[in-house]
Amino acid sequence: MNLSLPLRELSGVGDKLDDAFRRVGLRTVKDLIHYLPRTYDDYTQQSSISDLKPGKVTIVARVESTETHSVRRGMKITTATLADDSSKVKAVWFNQPYRATQLKSDEKYLFTGTFEFSYNRYQLTNPSVEQAKKLEQQTGEKIVPVYRSIRGVKPQLLRKLVESLRPTITMLGETLPAGIVTEQGLMSNAESLLALHFPESQEQIARAKERVGFEELFELLLASQLNKRANSRLTGYKIPFDVVAAKEFVAELPFALTNAQRRASWQIIQDFESQIPMNRLLQGDVGSGKTVVAGFAARQAARAGYQSALMAPTEILASQHADTLRELLDPFGVEVGLLTGAVKGKARAALLEQIASGGIHLIVGTHALIQKKVEYHKLGFVVIDEQHRFGVAQRQALLDKSQHMPHLLAMTATPIPRSLALTVYGELDVSVLDELPAGRKPISTRIWAPTNTEKLYAAVDTELAQGRQGYIICSLIDEDPENDVKSVEAEYRKLRSTVFRHRQVGLLHGKMTPGEKEEVMQRFASGELDLLVSTTVVEVGVNVPNATVMIIENADRFGLSQLHQLRGRVGRSSHQSYCYLVMSDSSKPSARLREIEKSQDGFYLAEVDLKLRGPGEIYGRSQHGALNLQVASLGDAKLIARAQAAARAFLDSSEDLLQYTQLAAQVEKNQRLTTLN
Ligand code: ADP
Ligand code: MG
Lowest mean pLDDT among 64-78, 301-315, 348-362, 554-568: 64-78
pLDDT at 424: 67
Separation of alpha carbons 147 and 153, rounded Å:
11
Asked whether the predicted pLDDT for residue 276 surpasses 80, the reply is yes
pLDDT at 247: 95
Q: What is the mean pLDDT of the chain?
A: 88
Asked whether the predicted pLDDT for residue 467 surpasses 90, the reply is yes
Question: Which listed ligand is nearest to 318 at the C-alpha?
Answer: 2
Please report which confidence band the pLDDT of residue 620 belongs to, taking 50, 70 and 90 as the band edges. very low
Asked whether the predicted pLDDT for residue 252 surpasses 90, the reply is yes
CB-based burial of residue 126 (10 Å sphere; 0-12 exposed, 13-18 middle, 19+ buried)?
A: middle
- Count of CA atoms in the C-beta half-sphere (13 A) of 242: 18
User: Could you tell me if 42 and 202 are in contact, meaning their C-beta atoms sit under 8 angstroms apart?
Assistant: yes
Separation of alpha carbons 598 and 604, rounded Å:
11
Q: What are the two backbone dihedrals, phi and then psi, of residue 257, each rounded to the nearest 5 degrees?
A: -65, 145
Query: Pocket of ligand 1, candidates 291, 323, 325, 565: which has the most ligand atoms within 8 Å of its Cβ, to mutate?
Result: 291
Interval between CA 542 and ligand 2 midpoint (Å): 7
Maximum distance among all alpha carbons in the chain? 86
Atom of ligand 1 nearest to the CA of 261: 23
Question: Which one-letter DSSP state was computed for residue 254?
Answer: S
288 lines ligand 1 (CB under 6 A): yes
Question: Closest residue (by CA) to atom 10 of ligand 1?
Answer: 287
First to last CA, the chain: 40
Handedness of CA 625, 630, 636, 638 (dihedral sign): negative
Query: Pocket of ligand 1, candidates 252, 253, 255: which has the most ligand atoms within 8 Å of its Cβ, to mutate?
Result: 255
CB-based burial of residue 504 (10 Å sphere; 0-12 exposed, 13-18 middle, 19+ buried)?
A: middle
How do strand 336-339 and strand 108-118 relate by DSSP bridges? unpaired
Taking only the tens place, the pLDDT of each residue in 601-611 is 888 888 787 77
292 lines ligand 1 (CB under 6 A): yes
Asked whether the predicted pLDDT for residue 176 surpasses 90, the reply is yes
Beta bridge partners of 677: none
Please report which confidence band the pLDDT of residue 618 belongs to, taking 50, 70 and 90 as the band edges. very low
pLDDT at 625: 45
Asked whether the predicted pLDDT for residue 540 surpasses 70, the reply is no
320 lines ligand 1 (CB under 6 A): no
pLDDT at 621: 42
Instruction: State mean pLDDT over 247-258.
Output: 94
CB within 8 A of 318, min separation 6: which ones?
310, 311, 312, 338, 340, 364, 365, 366
pLDDT: is 548 or 110 the higher one?
Answer: 548
CB-based burial of residue 244 (10 Å sphere; 0-12 exposed, 13-18 middle, 19+ buried)?
A: exposed
Separation of alpha carbons 35 and 56, rounded Å:
24
CA dihedral 463, 464, 469, 472 (to 10 degrees): 80
Atom of ligand 1 nearest to the CA of 439: 25
Percent of the chain scoring above 90 in pLDDT: 52
289 lines ligand 1 (CB under 6 A): yes
pTM for the model stands at 0.70
Question: Closest residue (by CA) to atom 5 of ligand 1?
Answer: 289
Taking only the tens place, the pLDDT of each residue in 125-164 is 999 888 877 665 554 557 889 898 899 898 889 999 999 9
Percent of the chain scoring above 70 in pLDDT: 92
- Report the SS3 class of residue 150: strand
- Report the SS3 class of residue 579: strand
59 lines ligand 1 (CB under 6 A): no
Instruction: State mean pLDDT over 1-24.
Output: 91
User: Could you tell me if 445 and 571 are in contact, meaning their C-beta atoms sit under 8 angstroms apart?
Assistant: no
Question: Closest residue (by CA) to atom 16 of ligand 1?
Answer: 289
Question: Which one-letter DSSP state was computed for residue 603?
Answer: H
pLDDT at 624: 44
568 lines ligand 1 (CB under 6 A): no
Separation of alpha carbons 245 and 295, rounded Å:
12
Instruction: State mean pLDDT over 15-36.
Output: 93
pLDDT at 478: 61
Separation of alpha carbons 403 and 352, rounded Å:
18
Of 165, 155, 115, 113, the residue nearest 135 (C-alpha):
155
Taking only the tens place, the pLDDT of each residue in 557-581 is 888 888 988 998 998 888 999 999 9
Please report which confidence band the pLDDT of residue 271 belongs to, taking 50, 70 and 90 as the band edges. very high
Please report which confidence band the pLDDT of residue 612 belongs to, taking 50, 70 and 90 as the band edges. low
Please report which confidence band the pLDDT of residue 617 belongs to, taking 50, 70 and 90 as the band edges. very low
Question: Which one-letter DSSP state was computed for residue 643?
Answer: H
Domains parsed from the chain with CATH numbers: 41-146 (2.40.50.140), 243-273+288-412 (3.40.50.300), 444-599 (3.40.50.300)
Question: Which one-letter DSSP state was computed for residue 498?
Answer: T
Which of left, alpha, beta for 76 (phi over 0: left; psi -120 to 50: alpha)? beta
CB within 8 A of 391, min separation 6: which ones?
none
437 lines ligand 1 (CB under 6 A): yes
316 lines ligand 1 (CB under 6 A): no
Question: Closest residue (by CA) to atom 4 of ligand 1?
Answer: 290
pLDDT at 222: 92
Interval between CA 336 and ligand 2 midpoint (Å): 17
Separation of alpha carbons 668 and 152, rounded Å:
33
Asked whether the predicted pLDDT for residue 384 surpasses 60, the reply is yes
Asked whether the predicted pLDDT for residue 425 surpasses 90, the reply is no
Taking only the tens place, the pLDDT of each residue in 222-231 is 988 898 888 8
Interval between CA 416 and ligand 2 midpoint (Å): 16
Could you write out the DSSP letters of every residue in 468-495? -EEEEE-----SSHHHHHHHHHHHHHHH
Lowest mean pLDDT among 265-279, 342-356, 480-494, 552-566: 480-494
Lowest mean pLDDT among 235-244, 272-281, 434-443: 434-443
Please report which confidence band the pLDDT of residue 543 belongs to, taking 50, 70 and 90 as the band edges. confident
Separation of alpha carbons 399 and 389, rounded Å:
16
pLDDT at 422: 66
Instruction: State mean pLDDT over 28-32.
Output: 94
Atom of ligand 1 nearest to the CA of 284: 2
Total residue length of the chain: 677
Separation of alpha carbons 37 and 233, rounded Å:
42
CB-based burial of residue 626 (10 Å sphere; 0-12 exposed, 13-18 middle, 19+ buried)?
A: middle
Instruction: State the amino acid at position 607 in one-letter form.
Output: E
